[in-house]
Amino acid sequence: TRTPVTILGLGAMGTALAQAYLDAGHPTTVWNRTAAKAAPLVAAGAHHAENVEDAVAASPLVIACLLSYETTLAALGPAAGAVSGRALVTLNSGTPSGAREMAAWATGHGARFLDGAIKNVPTAVGLPDTVLYYSGDRSVFDEHETTLRVMGGDTSYLGADADLAALYEMAVGGTLLPALLGFFQGAALVTRRGLPATSLVRYTAKWLEMIISVLPVIAEEIDTGDYTRLPSSVGLFHEGIAYDHEIGVEGDVDIAWHLPMHDLLRRAVEAGHRDHSIAALIEVLRKPHETA
Ligand code: NDP
């Protein structure tokens, strides 16, 4: 017999989560502020709870996927008396401080709290490669790991501090926009020449694989503070600044998004990192600790 699961929040992601539990044969209860969004899931076999309190009471495992911690706290308010003893999992995006606030509310009302992050799109829910990570009450993860894996095969536990999942989500997410902007710049260059952006994908994908391949070395350099292993120096990137400006002129593209990065490179050179690996940029990126 499969663990009964409640899904709170039936946006794009919550709907996909609920559908995955229905597909996996779990008794599934759903609730959403706008009740009409539950209709397709009810047609697929879900139980619809009229209010959030009933929804929480319906299952030992309650998974909330609302917009934010703020909206989750607001929505769960009326169910404060019902969460005691339940495993409550939140899967919204947010900051570590938001996660700590959420955890304080949940544990304060007697819930066993686990915060998680899903690092993929709704259509990827349930696939073996889909990444989810969790932090908080280890006993919730251990007890429900098989059930949590229904949402994605690459499921892991980061640690007991409830804000770790939000911290890692924040840390991982930082790559997205800079990487996409790099691709958009390349697409601007080739489409200006009448070539399709699709012609670039194969080569950019290889380039990204190269970046992936050096991440472990870069991470070790950062962890040890020994920036001598990667043969791509700050100086080399610093010399590339002129080249970025040429791209702007020759390709007729706006390269203004590079300027803050150029500034980081100049400050790194000034700080004596010219011959160090590009990983030394973290030394100028990190703000000095405030001393109390
Ligand atoms: P949607 O905008 O599709 O859905 C938002 C959900 O939050 C709805 O169920 C909405 O209810 C509910 N909600 C918003 N405000 C309130 C409120 N004040 N009170 C009660 N309910 C509220 O978002 P997604 O489903 O796409 O995303 C949900 C979370 O998952 C977000 O934190 C998002 O960052 C994260 N996520 C999303 C991904 C994606 O690709 N979509 C990928 C990874 C994470 P109502 O229907 O009544 O408006």
- pLDDT for 16-43, tens place per residue? 999 999 999 999 999 999 999 999 999 9
Counting from 1 in the atom list of ligand 1, the atom nearest the Cα of 33 is 47
Counting from 1 in the atom list of ligand 1, the atom nearest the Cα of 92 is 32
For the chain, give every domain's residue range: 5-171, 174-285
Distance 118 CA to ligand 1 centre (A): 13
Ligand 1 pocket by Cβ (under 6 Å): 9-14, 32-34, 37, 65-68, 71, 74-75, 92-93, 118, 121-122
- Note the pLDDT of residue 90: 98
Distance CA 221, CA 215 (A): 10
Domain 5-171 and domain 174-285 have a common topology: no
CATH superfamily of 174-285: N-(1-d-carboxylethyl)-l-norvaline Dehydrogenase; domain 2 (1.10.1040.10)
Instruction: Report the CATH architecture of 5-171.
Output: 3-Layer(aba) Sandwich (3.40)
Distance 108 CA to ligand 1 centre (A): 24
Distance CA 91, CA 259 (A): 35
Using CA atoms, how far residue 157 sits from 53, 131, 235, 238, in Å, is 28, 11, 39, 39
- Strand order of the β-sheet with 131-136 is 47-48, 28-31, 5-8, 61-64, 87-90, 112-118, 131-136, 154-159
Distance CA 13, CA 92 (A): 9
- Note the pLDDT of residue 291: 61
Which of 67, 91, 172 gets mutated to test ligand 1 (max ligand atoms within 8 A of its CB)? 67
pLDDT digits (tens, 9 = 90+) for 212-250: 999 999 999 999 999 999 999 999 999 999 999 999 999
First-to-last C-alpha distance (Å) of the chain: 55
Residue 93 CA neighbour count, 13 Å, CB half: 10
Q: What angle do CA 97, 100, 102 make, to 5 degrees?
A: 110
SS3 46: coil
287's tokens: 């703000």
Distance 181 CA to ligand 1 centre (A): 26
pLDDT average per 10 residues of sequence, the chain (292 residues)? 97 98 98 98 98 98 98 97 97 97 98 96 97 98 98 98 97 93 96 97 98 97 97 97 95 95 98 98 88 57
Distance 64 CA to ligand 1 centre (A): 10
Q: Pick the residue whose CA is nearest to atom 30 on ligand 1.
A: 92
Torsion, Cα of 31, 34, 40, 46 (10° steps): 10
Distance 14 CA to ligand 1 centre (A): 7
Complex-level ipTM:
0.98
Q: Nearest to residue 111, comparing CAs of 132, 133, 90, 142?
A: 90
Distance 7 CA to ligand 1 centre (A): 12
Residues contacting residue 105 through CB under 8 Å, at least 6 positions apart: 73, 76
* Cβ pair 189, 251 in contact under 8 A: yes
**DSSP summary character for residue 258:** G
Counting from 1 in the atom list of ligand 1, the atom nearest the Cα of 119 is 43
Residue 66 CA neighbour count, 13 Å, CB half: 19
What's the pTM value of the predicted model, to 2 decimals? 0.90
Distance CA 278, CA 263 (A): 14
Q: Nearest to residue 120, comparing CAs of 148, 149, 152, 90?
A: 152
Distance 142 CA to ligand 1 centre (A): 27
